Amino acid sequence: MAFRIYNTLGGRLEEFKPLHDNQVGMYTCGPTVYDFPHIGNYRTFVFQDILRRWLKYRGYRLRHVMNLTDVDDNTIRNSKAAGLSLRDYTAKYIGAFQADRQLLGLEDPEIVVRATDSIDDMVKLIQTLVEKGYAYASEGSVYFRVAAFKNYGQLSKIDLSGIRDGARIDSDKYDKNDARDFALWKAPKEGEPFWETPLGPGRPGWHIECSVMSMKYLGETFDIHSGGVDLIFPHHENEIAQSEAATGKPFVRYWLHAEHLIVNGEKMSKSLGNFYTLRDLLGQGYKPSAIRYLLASVPYRRHLNFTFDGLHQAQQSIDRLRNFRFRLTQESFSPGENAALQDRARAACRAFEDAMDDNLNTAEALGAIFAMVRDANTAIDRGEFRANDRTAFLETLERWDRIFAVLEDTDYGKLRQFGFIKEAREFVKLDADVSGPEGAEARAMGNGHRSGLQAESLTDEEIERWVAERDEVRRQGNFARADEIRRNLQKAGVILEDSKLGTRWKRK
Ligand SMILES: [Zn+2]
């Protein structure tokens, strides 16, 4: 099955065919680094991660460029308020964004660029537009003349009947259905950062940044450009106008846009108290993998209704898949094989692939995997599963996880790396009543009194040691001590699951 995607430009599903063989050039609008992105932003970034993983899965060689908008109305306003230079102010939020990306398992684009590192290229493109009659200077700024570009409105299907030639707007974002000449270059206002250039002193408008940075690294015509639906107009419409007016060539072949995220059925807003950054959710104890799963689980062109119930279900779904994989690898099966079961695993893999080829239908891709897990668990329970059947199922799981990336439990390490969980030592308080052999042992473990511990304060290695010790005392028949260790771990937020395959632990 061919990979089909919904192209906003044509307004329909189209088969994806790159311009050059199996090379794909893709540009995604990165964040404006003036604050912490909210989970609605991350919905779009997770969609783009799924897209890039799927392109690679399908064998394409990918060159993915993402910009960081580090100069615009918002970054200038906030850096002034903070009393910092634009560079220093935005550096903080670039760092936070990169940490968030790692937490959510987002792959790095091949090229990440700061807008302010391409000012010279922006000036050159603006000069070309002026020379060609698509742009004009006024009071130190330069504007794009919308009426001069006859294909304006092709992406957003905006109604141009009300267009007023010469009506200008300086702000980067403006109302829908209001086509106006927009600023390519802005004369400096009092106290604003500016660059001395052949255009005069000033700074670029937001839209020109993306035209320049995408064409700089991907060429004048490239394959995919994507962002959230709120970028269709004016941002992407203006990018097309600037780029095509300057080059006379088609700018982008496929435009992909992710729908909005809503929270508990309502638009996310600070005044409603339902506005969440990724950090807010991690601070409340939610796991990055569960957040990634939830954001990925709804196909990108549908509204995603974000709820805490949904987040809990996402965690349970991940646990189900991990438990299934654990069972496959640890349980002993009779030798031989069951051809029908292996066919089942391969059919699930094809169903997952077909769903992804169908405009990245992640909901169906998940459905295909869970149906397989259910059937395989039933077969195992009935004793129909054979040792040689393992590989087919593990292979399907592995392929699925190349896209969804939640099967490995990396949450704890990442949360610790980025400071969401403190080092164990900071929690340790040696309790006065920890005395005698047990106290000595607790002290030797460096843990202090276990009953005072939280899950976060025990490292994976420390938990493993306790679990191993408990296995040992059980083997010796000391069940009272084994129970005590279980209770202590439970108080520390660690749950033990005993089965004939051994003991697994997880954090609450
Ligand atoms: Zn952009």
Q: Please, which contacts does 403-406 make with residues 24 or more away whose CB atoms are closer than 8 Å?
A: 403/50, 403/53, 403/54, 403/57, 403/356, 403/365, 404/50, 404/292, 404/293, 404/296, 404/362, 404/365, 404/366, 405/53, 405/105, 405/292, 406/105, 406/289, 406/292, 406/293, 406/318, 406/321
Distance, in Å, from the CA atom of 145 to the CA atom of 405, rounded to the nearest integer, reads 46
Is 451 a residue whose pLDDT tops 90? no
Q: Ligand 1 centre and the CA of 343: distance in Å?
A: 45
The pTM assigned to this predicted structure is 0.86
Q: Ligand 1 centre and the CA of 362: distance in Å?
A: 25
Q: Of all helices (H) and strands (E), which one includes residue 346?
A: helix 339-357
Q: Ligand 1 centre and the CA of 231: distance in Å?
A: 8
Does residue 331 come out as left (phi exceeding 0), alpha (psi in the -120 to 50 range) or beta? beta
Q: Ligand 1 centre and the CA of 236: distance in Å?
A: 7
β 181-186/4-7 pair status: unpaired
Q: What Å distances lie between residue 206 and 173, 200, 209, 306, 424, CA to CA?
A: 9, 18, 6, 30, 45
Mean pLDDT confidence for 94-117:
97
- Lowest-pLDDT range, 34-48, 316-330, 449-463? 449-463
* 3-state DSSP of 90-133: HHHHHHHHHHHHHHCCCCCCCEEEEHHHHHHHHHHHHHHHHHCC
Q: Ligand 1 centre and the CA of 114: distance in Å?
A: 12
| CB 179, CB 160: distance < 8 Å | yes
Mean pLDDT confidence for 258-270:
91
pLDDT digits (tens, 9 = 90+) for 355-387: 999 999 999 999 999 999 999 999 999 999 999
pLDDT digits (tens, 9 = 90+) for 300-345: 999 999 999 999 999 999 999 999 999 999 899 999 999 999 999 9
Is 275 a residue whose pLDDT tops 60? yes
* pLDDT score, position 1: 76
* pLDDT score, position 175: 65
- Lowest-pLDDT range, 128-132, 303-307, 395-399, 490-494? 490-494
Distance, in Å, from the CA atom of 222 to the CA atom of 24, rounded to the nearest integer, reads 8
Q: Ligand 1 centre and the CA of 29: distance in Å?
A: 4
Q: Ligand 1 centre and the CA of 357: distance in Å?
A: 26
Is 444 a residue whose pLDDT tops 90? no
pLDDT digits (tens, 9 = 90+) for 173-203: 776 666 789 999 999 999 899 999 999 999 9
| CB 329, CB 391: distance < 8 Å | no
Q: Ligand 1 centre and the CA of 207: distance in Å?
A: 6
Is 433 a residue whose pLDDT tops 70? no
Q: Ligand 1 centre and the CA of 167: distance in Å?
A: 23
Q: What is the side-by-side order of every strand in the sheet holding 222-228? A: 111-114, 61-68, 23-28, 222-228, 252-258
**% residues pLDDT > 70 (the chain):** 91
Q: Ligand 1 centre and the CA of 239: distance in Å?
A: 8
Is 83 a residue whose pLDDT tops 60? yes
| CB 494, CB 506: distance < 8 Å | yes
Q: Ligand 1 centre and the CA of 30: distance in Å?
A: 7
Name the pLDDT band for 270 (thresholds 50, 70, 90).
Answer: confident
Q: Ligand 1 centre and the CA of 235: distance in Å?
A: 7
* pLDDT score, position 315: 95
Is 282 a residue whose pLDDT tops 70? yes
Q: Tell me which residue has tokens 């992105």.
A: 37
Mean pLDDT taken over the chain: 90
Query: How many other C-beta atoms lie within 10 A of the C-beta of residue 283?
Result: 11
Is 430 a residue whose pLDDT tops 70? no
β 252-258/141-144 pair status: unpaired
Is 452 a residue whose pLDDT tops 70? no
Beta bridge partners, 306, equal: 263
Q: Ligand 1 centre and the CA of 500: distance in Å?
A: 55
Q: What Å distances lie between residue 317 and 53, 151, 313, 323, 362, CA to CA?
A: 21, 47, 6, 10, 14
* pLDDT score, position 455: 53
Q: What Å distances lie between residue 271 and 108, 262, 283, 308, 488, CA to CA?
A: 33, 14, 20, 19, 43
Distance, in Å, from the CA atom of 247 to the CA atom of 253, rounded to the nearest integer, reads 15
Mean pLDDT confidence for 156-182:
76
pLDDT digits (tens, 9 = 90+) for 199-254: 999 999 999 999 999 999 999 999 999 999 999 999 999 999 999 999 999 999 99
Is 426 a residue whose pLDDT tops 60? no
Q: Ligand 1 centre and the CA of 149: distance in Å?
A: 20
Name the pLDDT band for 438 (thresholds 50, 70, 90).
Answer: very low
Q: Ligand 1 centre and the CA of 225: distance in Å?
A: 9
Instruction: Output the CA torsion sign for 200, 202, 207, 213.
Output: positive
Here the tokens at position 272 are: 């409603």
* pLDDT score, position 459: 78
Q: Ligand 1 centre and the CA of 232: distance in Å?
A: 10
Query: φ, ψ for residue 44 (rounded to 5)?
Result: -65, -40
Q: Ligand 1 centre and the CA of 238: distance in Å?
A: 10
Name the pLDDT band for 269 (thresholds 50, 70, 90).
Answer: confident
Q: Ligand 1 centre and the CA of 206: distance in Å?
A: 7
Q: Ligand 1 centre and the CA of 486: distance in Å?
A: 53
Q: Ligand 1 centre and the CA of 243: distance in Å?
A: 12
Q: Ligand 1 centre and the CA of 251: distance in Å?
A: 13
| CB 252, CB 240: distance < 8 Å | yes
438's CB contacts (< 8 A; 6+ apart) are none
| CB 203, CB 192: distance < 8 Å | yes
* 3-state DSSP of 439-474: HHHHHHHCCCCHHHCCHHHCCHHHHHHHHHHHHHHH
* pLDDT score, position 442: 44
